[in-house]
Chains A and B, each alone.
Chain A
Amino acid sequence: MSESYDFLFKFLVIGNAGTGKSCLLHQFIEKRFKDESNHTIGVEFGSKIISVVNKMVKLQIWDTAGQERFRSVTRSYYRGAAGALLVYDITSRETYNTLTTWLSDARMLASQNIVIILCGNKKDLDADREVTFLEASRFAQENELMFLETSALTGENVEEAFVQCARKILNKIESGELDPERMGSGIQYGDAALRQLRSPRRAQPQGAQECGC
């Protein structure tokens, strides 16, 4: 494969049914809203390479079904995820109320150091809002989550959600808080990074430029 990247991060998209998880993923990858779509059965998958602070990062994203009865299936995908988008629907209090369940699942089953960003989706439907920005950001703070309100319809904050999550993981790698070599970290070195490891004198930005094509 011709694609080159420095790191590969395994990501999850989780949250109640109907919150727009697949639409967020689709908007992120295809840059448009997916009209006329089915719900997800089991697990779907997408990947994209993004540039984050001079590094090319390949996101491998597992999009899960939200219906309760698929939980046992989707749980088996949590293992070794480095990051997650935890999605609720700002027009549905119920999807917000179940966040703690999703959170404890993710913290228990994915990598211990999983970086989670809370996404209040359907921001475009402000008139039907049931969950305020303030209360959700308080929840995020209490649970050490990043937080954004997103709209898979307009695309607002969608790319940002993925990028912010990836950036935080990169920061943690650089600060040594996260060790990519550890089993189940959800992080792998890409070809580009491996090359740099082998010839450490090579300047890093140069490596990034190579893949910028």
Chain B
Amino acid sequence: MKERMKEEAWNIHFSEFGRGVCMYRTSRTRELILNGIPESLRGELWLLFSGAQNEMASHPGYYGDLVEQTMGLCSLATEEIERDLHRSMPEHRAFQNEMGIAALRRVLTAYAHRNPNIGYCQAMNIVTSVLLLYGTEEEAFWLLVALCERMLPDYYNTRVVGALVDQGVFEDLTRAFLPQLYEHMQELGVITTISLSWFLTLFLSVMPFDSAVLLVDCFFYEGIKVIFQVALAVLHDNMDALLACSDEGEAMTILGSCAFLVRLIFTASSHRALLHVIFKNNFVANFTKIPQRSPLTGFTRF
């Protein structure tokens, strides 16, 4: 029933602001996303927000051709893909049979063929599995293109440079927003590497699926900013425990266990509340004020 109401709200929005290849970004759109995208519209909206819809429309037949070309091909990438197919989303029914696995194989292999600079990076399999749950193979492919080439630039390349750069940015943000914790974390050592998987999988590998997918909704609309916000919220939420740690092992135990996220979710009884937990700390409002210069390359992000 709730799903129906959400759908209705979106339909009203569509009739006013358009549907299909483009849509206005209004404060109401954001509001609707925070209220939760209905399952039936998720794929369509991800395609729209990411621009994948446009690319797909302007490249008819492209994915099908790639699949044909890559059929039976053997490479380092295909070997690596093969090894990970059964450990991408093993708990989900869709990937407990050969049909789901074969679709995942085709999309990842096609992408590796399209972009040899990336090939296949562990984490792409997890994200692609989720994309496949909400769209056709072709749609999942174009969403993956949007992620790898626009929304998460260089994240999955052969040295995961983009993701590492963003760990540096994340460290800077920690210094700006949670200075006390930042000092303590510097003393503890290299624990920011734990957040690497949060960024590479958009939290899909560490958070319960139903919650993580809400973040993915926000991510497609607002970009990587959302992941930074959630990551800061996670640190903030566990600040006392982290400050009490005397070595990096203890800190890793806190951040590595799912416990921290479960807590975040328990305090949030509804989708909206979850997102408010994340945004309440006002990381959002202040976000644009800091120059987000990445420590490695000097690029300005956002």
**Chain A proximity mask over B74-86: 1 for CB below 8 Å, otherwise 0:** 0000001001100
In the bound complex, do residue B87 and residue A41 qualify as a contact, i.e. CB atoms below 8 Å apart?
A: no
| A window 65-86: CB within 8 A of B | 65, 67-70, 72-73, 76-77
| B window 111-136: CB within 8 A of A | 121-123, 126
Closest to B158 in A: A69
Residue B186 is within 8 A (CB to CB) of chain A in the complex = no
In the bound complex, do residue A39 and residue B84 qualify as a contact, i.e. CB atoms below 8 Å apart?
A: yes
Residue A42 is within 8 A (CB to CB) of chain B in the complex = yes
Residue A155 is within 8 A (CB to CB) of chain B in the complex = no
Bound: A104/B154 CA distance, A: 29
| A window 41-63: CB within 8 A of B | 41-45, 47, 60
Residue A103 is within 8 A (CB to CB) of chain B in the complex = no
In the bound complex, do residue A65 and residue B193 qualify as a contact, i.e. CB atoms below 8 Å apart?
A: no
| B window 214-244: CB within 8 A of A | none
Bound: A17/B201 CA distance, A: 18
Bound: A36/B90 CA distance, A: 5
Chain B interface residue count, CB cutoff 8 Å, equals 29
Residues of A contacting B160 in the complex (Cβ-Cβ under 8 angstroms): 69-70, 72-73
Residues of B contacting A36 in the complex (Cβ-Cβ under 8 angstroms): 87, 90-91
**Chain B proximity mask over A25-50: 1 for CB below 8 Å, otherwise 0:** 00000000001111101111101000
Residue A184 is within 8 A (CB to CB) of chain B in the complex = no
Residue B153 is within 8 A (CB to CB) of chain A in the complex = no
Residues of A contacting B201 in the complex (Cβ-Cβ under 8 angstroms): 41
Residues of A contacting B264 in the complex (Cβ-Cβ under 8 angstroms): none
Select one of A17, A37, A44, A72 contacting B80, CB under 8 A. A17
Residue B190 is within 8 A (CB to CB) of chain A in the complex = yes
Bound: A42/B193 CA distance, A: 7
| B90, B122, B159 — most chain A CB neighbours (10 Å) | B122
Bound: A37/B87 CA distance, A: 6
| B window 249-290: CB within 8 A of A | 249, 252-253, 256
- Min CB gap B91→A, angstroms: 6
Residue B294 is within 8 A (CB to CB) of chain A in the complex = no
Select one of B80, B84, B88, B193 contacting A73, CB under 8 A. B193
- Min CB gap B168→A, angstroms: 13
Chain A interface SS verdict (over half): loop
Residues of A contacting B194 in the complex (Cβ-Cβ under 8 angstroms): 42-43, 45
Residue B33 is within 8 A (CB to CB) of chain A in the complex = no
In the bound complex, do residue B196 and residue A45 qualify as a contact, i.e. CB atoms below 8 Å apart?
A: no
Bound: A38/B158 CA distance, A: 20
| B window 152-171: CB within 8 A of A | 157-160, 164
Select one of A38, A43, A69 contacting B126, CB under 8 A. A38
In the bound complex, do residue B190 and residue A76 qualify as a contact, i.e. CB atoms below 8 Å apart?
A: yes
In the bound complex, do residue A70 and residue B90 qualify as a contact, i.e. CB atoms below 8 Å apart?
A: no
Bound: A68/B252 CA distance, A: 23
Residues of B contacting A35 in the complex (Cβ-Cβ under 8 angstroms): 90
In the bound complex, do residue A38 and residue B159 qualify as a contact, i.e. CB atoms below 8 Å apart?
A: no
Closest to A67 in B: B122
Residue B52 is within 8 A (CB to CB) of chain A in the complex = no
Residue B197 is within 8 A (CB to CB) of chain A in the complex = yes
| A43, A60, A69 — most chain B CB neighbours (10 Å) | A69
Closest to A45 in B: B252
Residues of A contacting B84 in the complex (Cβ-Cβ under 8 angstroms): 18, 39
In the bound complex, do residue B122 and residue A65 qualify as a contact, i.e. CB atoms below 8 Å apart?
A: yes
Closest to B82 in A: A18
Bound: A90/B88 CA distance, A: 23
Select one of A17, A67, A76 contacting B193, CB under 8 A. A76
In the bound complex, do residue B122 and residue A43 qualify as a contact, i.e. CB atoms below 8 Å apart?
A: no
Residue B200 is within 8 A (CB to CB) of chain A in the complex = yes
Bound: A83/B158 CA distance, A: 28
In the bound complex, do residue B83 and residue A73 qualify as a contact, i.e. CB atoms below 8 Å apart?
A: no
In the bound complex, do residue A39 and residue B193 qualify as a contact, i.e. CB atoms below 8 Å apart?
A: no
Residue B205 is within 8 A (CB to CB) of chain A in the complex = yes
**Chain A proximity mask over B181-205: 1 for CB below 8 Å, otherwise 0:** 0000000001001101100110001
Residues of A contacting B87 in the complex (Cβ-Cβ under 8 angstroms): 36-39
- Min CB gap A75→B, angstroms: 11
Given that A41-B123, A69-B158 are known contacts, is A47 also in contact with B88, CB under 8 Å in the complex?
no
6 contacts between A and B (CB under 8 A): A38-B87, A42-B197, A67-B121, A69-B121, A73-B196, A76-B193
Q: Which residues of B contact A (CB under 8 A)?
A: 80, 83-84, 87-88, 90-91, 121-123, 126, 157-160, 164, 190, 193-194, 196-197, 200-201, 205, 247, 249, 252-253, 256
Q: Besides the contacts A17-B80, A35-B90, A69-B158, what 15 more A-B pairs have beta carbons closer than 8 Å?
A: A36-B90, A36-B91, A39-B84, A39-B87, A41-B201, A45-B194, A45-B249, A60-B249, A65-B122, A67-B80, A69-B160, A72-B160, A73-B164, A73-B193, A76-B190
